[in-house]
Amino acid sequence: MPNTTSTDIHMYHEQQEKQLCLLHTLNNLLQEKAFAKRDLDTLCESLDERQWFNAHRSMFGLGNYDVNILMAALATKDLSVTWFDNRLKFKNVKPENVYGYIFNKPTSGVWGYLTRGRHWFAVLQLQNGLFYNFDSKLSKPTIIDDFETFFDKHIEVGDQIFLVTKPESSENCVTNK
């Protein structure tokens, strides 16, 4: 029964608005409205003082934030980000040291082509042991029946995966063996 939903656990889930998928991803990952657009814009300006043509977001002010904003935002919540080496597979991940997973893939369609945009989404393993896809393009979180296959398929097509950990676990979330 692939990608079913569950209603027995309370889940916070924001849906897609403009190009704010990183904002929704952060809030879905943290399971609360931890950030607003203004917070991410402030982080952009702290890394690049230019308000127009800022290197870390869309020049149209619609979002499309980059990985630097992901890392800076999570650092304010005492979380670290490890960029997963796409030569490895899920079997190299130490899930017990991972808070959550963030996926980044090319945006499809004409708008994605024109903006060279990418889409962010979070996956969490909740207290019931199941993995849930919190993609803001979904109407609600969905269960991922086989997370290892899901993870490895995203690696195979060239998507980027980021492991979110506590700082003390960042060096111990992946094994090369």
Active site residue 119: yes
Where residue 138 falls (left for φ over 0; alpha for ψ -120 to 50; beta otherwise) is beta
Task: Single out the catalytic residue among 21, 41, 44, 173.
Answer: 21
Active site residue 85: no
What are phi and psi for residue 115, nearest 5 degrees?
Answer: -95, -5
Active site residue 21: yes
Task: Single out the catalytic residue among 24, 119, 154, 173.
Answer: 119
Task: Single out the catalytic residue among 66, 135, 154, 173.
Answer: 135
Positions marked catalytic: 21, 119, 135
